[in-house]
A and B are shown apart, each in its own frame.
Chain A
Amino acid sequence: MSMPFYVAPEQVMKDRADYARKGIARGRSLVAAQFADGIAIVAENPSTTLRKVSEIYDHIAFAGVGKYNEFDQLRIAGVRSADLKGFSYSREDVDARSLGNQYAQILGQVFTHEMKPMEVEILVAEVGAVESSDQFFHILYDGTVMDEDRFTVLGGDADAIASRLESTWTPGLDLVSVLAVAVAALAGPDRSLVASDLEVAVLDRGGQRRSFRRIERTELPEFLPKA
């Protein structure tokens, strides 16, 4: 009988984490930030059809970076879970925290039990009635959940982008200003991003039931600083 080679559990976990991180780092990053009238989500995404940012429920948005098919599968599961919950109970009972925890369970489960971890990093954002009740749940490939405030950055280059945002983001910005700040942070000092490189969506802090709104690429130049 042949014995399999012994691999220390620390090594297995490290290899998986490295694998997932490498996959995520290959894609482009994404920023979500609060502003006076809601939450703006800005992704670097040259495609107009394969979305990184989308609607989950009335006040909840989903965003993912990394491997498209994997985060899209998670997105659809989230829409299903939210719609089923709202149908069984009430629309008010659907919240980002519960969705975030469910995502964390799944990603954690896949990370420890499957051959291959998911090469994704996702965000569940919920817009509240006031700025202090906005929520950002940032979930990593291994199921780690981070409850963040003000803004959050997903993707391989997150640390550098977050440090740029730290110095430029201020509370109470309007939409145009927050987009300018987010786009500048994503681009960094050596590049500049134009409308055709970006996917932008907003969760409006308004009265409507469905607060998710895409800013289509055709209307995006109005909101961006002139080059």
Chain B
Amino acid sequence: MPFFAPSEDPGPDFAALAKIQGLVPIAPTSAVDDRLRITHATTVVAVRYVDGVVMAGDRRATSGNIISHRAIEKVFPADRHSGVAIAGAAGPAMEMVKLFQLQLEHYEKVEGSQLSLEGKANQLGQMVRNNLPAAMQGLAVVPIFAGFDVRRETGRLFQYDITGGRYEESNFATSGSGGSLAGSVVKMRFHEGLTRDDAVDLVITALFEAADEDSATGGPDMVRGIYPVVATITAEGFERVLDTEIAERFVGLLDVLASRDGGGRVSETTTETAGGAI
């Protein structure tokens, strides 16, 4: 059982405790991405709405041009009132989420009170910062963090860069290879006072459009029944939206897209006029 002298006590910091116990992975000393195909996870998005925030992530993980997993999950509860969504090297990202979840729980148990939402966001920033040596070798992890701030009674969103820079966003946050595509969709359609229905439709539309343009982002897989993970975080806590609801909303979205083109099928270019490289 770990006991420490007062001067060496790690306090409520689980990461520091794990480090003392030698449980922290060593950063590689040279670039790994050139020699080994690292599994990457992409495109997560979070949007603020009236009751809190909605977070969503596609289900695809890729290693170079290979789809390495079709049903990976990228959106996780961090604790009761917050969630974390990951993009980047999948292995270190999953490890970071696990450590982050445990860190929040450990703090709560040792201190007997919860960290503020801001404190949690900063904590995640430090973890991203600590991953910088690995990021420089190709194992970057760039999460987004969102939650319901019980003190301010509003949803809040945080975006990061690989150096651990933490940027609070007022309306939406995205990360991953399709993040900017998804972000554009959200930006065009965001307005103050989004309802839950609007917000969930907005994030699945954003993911659909990102998957349409970015090969590393997976669209809805209606054959296998694999849909993006969507979760809402409100005063009542983190709640995952059921797959059946997401499936219905995708059917609705496809109807809208198909009717827009009049013919029941989304056409882009015909074979006759294709001029680009095949």
Given contacts A87-B18, A87-B98, A88-B23, contact A79 B1 (CB under 8 A): no
Q: Name the one of B3, B106, B112 contacting A83, with C-beta atoms under 8 angstroms.
A: B106
Residue B190 interfacial (CB < 8 Å): no
Please, which residues of chain A bring their CB within 8 A of the CB of B109?
54-56, 79, 83
Task: Find the B residue at minimum CB distance from A86.
Answer: B102
Q: Name the one of A56, A84, A86, A102 contacting B17, with C-beta atoms under 8 angstroms.
A: A84
Q: Is chain A's interface secondary structure helix, strand, loop, or mixed overall?
A: helix
Interface string of B98-118 (1 = CB under 8 A from A): 110010011001101000000
The reply to whether B1 and A83 contact each other, CB–CB distance below 8 Å, is no
Q: Name the one of B1, B14, B18, B23 contacting A106, with C-beta atoms under 8 angstroms.
A: B1
Residue A143 interfacial (CB < 8 Å): no
Task: Find the A residue at minimum CB distance from B113.
Answer: A49
Please, which residues of chain A bring their CB within 8 A of the CB of B110?
76, 79-80
The reply to whether A54 and B105 contact each other, CB–CB distance below 8 Å, is no
Q: How far is the CA of A80 from the CA of B98 in the complex (A)?
A: 16
Given contacts A54-B112, A84-B18, contact A102 B1 (CB under 8 A): yes
Q: How far is the CB of A145 from chain B (nearest CB, A)?
A: 14
A-B contact pairs, 22 of them (CB 8 A): A51-B112, A54-B112, A55-B109, A56-B109, A73-B3, A77-B1, A77-B2, A77-B3, A78-B1, A79-B110, A80-B2, A80-B106, A83-B105, A83-B106, A83-B109, A84-B17, A86-B102, A87-B14, A87-B99, A103-B1, A106-B1, A106-B3
Q: Name A's B-contacting residues (CB within 8 A).
A: 51, 54-56, 73, 76-81, 83-84, 86-88, 102-103, 105-106, 210
